[in-house]
Structure 1
Amino acid sequence: MHAPERRIAHLDMDAFYASVELLRYPELRGLPLVIGGGAHQPVSAADGSRRFARLRDYVGRGVITTATYEARALGAGSGMGLMKAARLAPEAILLPVNFDAYRHCSRLFKAAVAGVAATIEDRGIDEIYIDLTDEPGETRALATRIKQAVKDATGLSCSIGVTPNKLLSKICSDLDKPDGLTILGMDGLAERIWPLPVRKINGIGPKATAKLAALEIHTIGELAGADPVLLQEHFGRTYALWLKDAAHGVDARAIATSSEPQSISRETTFERDLHARGDRAALSAILMELCAQLAADVRRKGYASRGIGVKLRFDDFQIVTRNLTLAEPTDDAAAILRAARECLKRVPLERRLRLLGVRASALSPRLPEAAGAPRGQGELLLWGEGA
């Protein structure tokens, strides 16, 4: 007896952060709205109305976390600098991020889905995979039930793609946004998937997209028909084989129900470029704060870390990372800071910096603390000290 064809769903909340904000500020519905940057809270007037910041008035180095579809239509999108977005959509409303509200809605929608389907893979604050293979019911009816459950629990819409695997479902959940439902079998590959640009495949980033374009490979269908030898020459054997499989919709990955994080990180983009010498005190304070926040995150999640890393983005947008493996796992802010400083010693710091981040990896469940053991009381050395 043959096993049933897999039914894997990818659920992606629609413009999640912006949609959560619209629950609080319904008067902004239908307007271009971007989320990001610093403290530009709405101001309430005496008559009960609210005055919102406009993108045209923003000054700084922040980036867009998300945007409504109306803002996206004007060219403003996630990851774009707010100053650049202001030139494209000056009248767009600007709101700061509110992660407490987003995490609350995230928990609500995931609990709602769990009430319909048992096997779920958590992929972040606004997306999950769902294995519907063994769930009773017709696929469209089942997916519609999930969408309605999410709507009832949060007041928000989501888009779902259902296919035989995770790779295709991830693509399909984006095809009919917002509030979309796309169901696709392998027989629909040529019609719905192959005309799409190669970047729609999760795992083909900007560099690979540019290299494929140089080979006159722009669509997924062109990738599917590409010469395997040519791909291997330019990408190496392993990645070339994956590219061919992905273009043909091949993906055997199972739904991973474990929610163990691989890493935890904190980073910040500066309002102005900073230099390791001229802005030593400011960078020292920022690094100390990031390490303290990271240590608190690691402890709150019940972990200790053996891998500490730093991430720097320079004024020319080059990104550099350095990592260090500790002898023992830690969740101590001072220990994380010392390791971060050791990483920084291995980076030439002649250029000005736009961004600084710290990362904890190689996570393991934290053992109970020894009674009376002090935490986070080690010496917090200054940026560049001892280098």
Structure 2
Amino acid sequence: MEKKIIHVDMDAFFAAVEQQDYPKLKGKPVVVGGNSHRGIVATCSYEARSYGIHSAMPIFMAKQRCPDAVYLPVRYERYKEVSRKVFSIFYSITDLVEPLSIDEAYLDITHTSQEPIKIASFIKKEVLLQTGLTLSIGISYNKFLAKLASDWNKPNGIKTITKDMVPDILKPLSIKKVYGIGKKSADKLNSIGIDTIEDLMSLPEEYLIHFLGKMGTEIYQMIRGVDHREVQVGREAKSIGRETTLQQDTRDKNYLKDILLAFSKDIGRSLERRNISAKTITIKYKLSDFSSHTRSKSIHHYFQSQQAIYTLACDILEDIVLEEDLRLIGLSVSNFSQEEMQQLSFFD
């Protein structure tokens, strides 16, 4: 049986929630991420995007492009509240839901009796009725094509990609649309004259494996309409972390340790709530020239306590030679286990 996969993506979610909660903001360029020059754009309305503003852009750059935009802090708890309403609609249709983020998910509707287009229309109608928000939906027979389709007619669109449309519909698209090809890989391919998916199709599978590593085979198949990835129900987070852009660039490690302490407490509480432990801890930092760096440490036993996280984080920080000031610091834990720990650390 051919699969029926839906990819759902809320339109400019954070900004759309703000515009819905505060109707005076509708039609205006809205940037969510804070008003400080030190912040980063979390998301922005389509009105703001017309000025070239996009997610992950520093706020000071956004203000250069559109100084008259409305700049708002992130209200994550409010967005989670709205997200729960949206996801409850998804789960009313099928249990086979794979959340990708707070505003994005795959649904496997293969075994539902309704036609995919009717289900998509129902989702759009219910989300609008219950939240006042719009979303874009892609429908296809695999995850790669469904996600590609959801981006086709944004905002508030529906697009179906059927088997008979492949590969012709894909050929004119940029290689940046292909799952697994990031900016660095795209730049490398562009440098040898590979700009579109049609160009990419001209390369042998062996060459793609040599050029792109283990993703080479998957990409070779995906651009020909083949993607065997299943919708993963209850997919676990691969890491839990926190990060912040500093109010002022610094290399003062005592100040940075205060931030790591707050992060450690927050992450520790998250681990306890989920009843999981971790083996790996990572510090991410961004220098004043915007270059990003990470330092990780894995240990033999699992840890969960706030004290253990903080102590390990401080160990990593002490080993970092800071020759420039930091503008951002983050802390995360990964390599999880829900099994009972065989060996306890002295922290536990």
Identify the TM-score tier after normalising by the shorter chain.
Answer: over 0.9
CA distance in 1, matches of 2:51, 2:169: 26
CA distance in 1, matches of 2:224, 2:231: 20
The SS at the match of 1:91 is coil
Distance of aligned partners of 1:183 and 1:69 in 2 relative to their CA distance in 1, 3 Å threshold: same
TM-score by length of 1: 0.84
Equivalent of 2:183 in 202, 206, 210: 206
Partner of 2:14: 17
Partner of 2:246: 270
Partner of 1:65: 42
Partner of 1:52: none
- Unpaired stretches in structure 2, ≥5 consecutive residues: none
CA distance in 2, matches of 1:351, 1:291: 24
CA distance in 2, matches of 1:231, 1:304: 38
- Structure 1 position 256 matched with structure 2 position 232: yes
AA at the equivalent of 2:51: L
CA contact (8 A) 1:116 1:145 kept: no
Partner of 1:384: none
254-263 vs 60-69, which moves further = 254-263
CA distance in 1, matches of 2:234, 2:36: 42
CA distance in 2, matches of 1:138, 1:239: 33
Query: Offset of 1:367 from its aligned partner?
Result: 6.0
Query: Offset of 1:263 from its aligned partner?
Result: 1.2
CA distance in 2, matches of 1:205, 1:345: 32
Partner of 1:94: 71
CA distance in 1, matches of 2:208, 2:253: 46
Partner of 2:102: 125
Distance of aligned partners of 1:261 and 1:234 in 2 relative to their CA distance in 1, 3 Å threshold: closer
CA distance in 1, matches of 2:31, 2:162: 36
Distance of aligned partners of 1:347 and 1:13 in 2 relative to their CA distance in 1, 3 Å threshold: same
What does 1:110-121 align with in structure 2 at a 5 Å threshold? 110-121=87-98
AA at the equivalent of 1:320: H
Query: Which structure would you say has the larger Rg?
Result: 1
AA at the equivalent of 1:244: Y
CA distance in 1, matches of 2:191, 2:248: 36
- Unpaired stretches in structure 1, ≥5 consecutive residues: 38-57, 369-374, 379-387
Equivalent of 1:195 in 152, 168, 172: 172
Query: Offset of 1:191 from its aligned partner?
Result: 4.1
Partner of 1:360: 333
CA distance in 2, matches of 1:168, 1:235: 20
Once superposed, which parts of structure 1, at least 4 consecutive aligned residues long, lie more than 4 Å away? none
Give the number of equivalent residue pairs: 344
CA contact (8 A) 1:10 1:129 kept: yes
CA contact (8 A) 2:20 2:26 kept: no
TM-score by length of 2: 0.93
CA contact (8 A) 1:7 1:162 kept: yes
Partner of 1:163: 140
CA contact (8 A) 2:37 2:58 kept: no
What does 1:1-387 align with in structure 2 at a 5 Å threshold? 4-37=1-34, 58-236=35-213, 238-275=214-251, 279-365=252-338
Query: Offset of 1:163 from its aligned partner?
Result: 0.7
Distance of aligned partners of 1:243 and 1:90 in 2 relative to their CA distance in 1, 3 Å threshold: same
Cα RMSD after superposing both structures:
2.1
AA at the equivalent of 1:261: A
The SS at the match of 1:264 is strand
Identity %: 34
CA offset digits 1:344-382 (Å, max 9, x no partner): 3443322221211111112233869xxxxxx99x9xxxx
CA offset digits 1:183-219 (Å, max 9, x no partner): 1112223443221211112321110110010111111
CA contact (8 A) 2:197 2:223 kept: yes
CA contact (8 A) 1:20 1:102 kept: yes
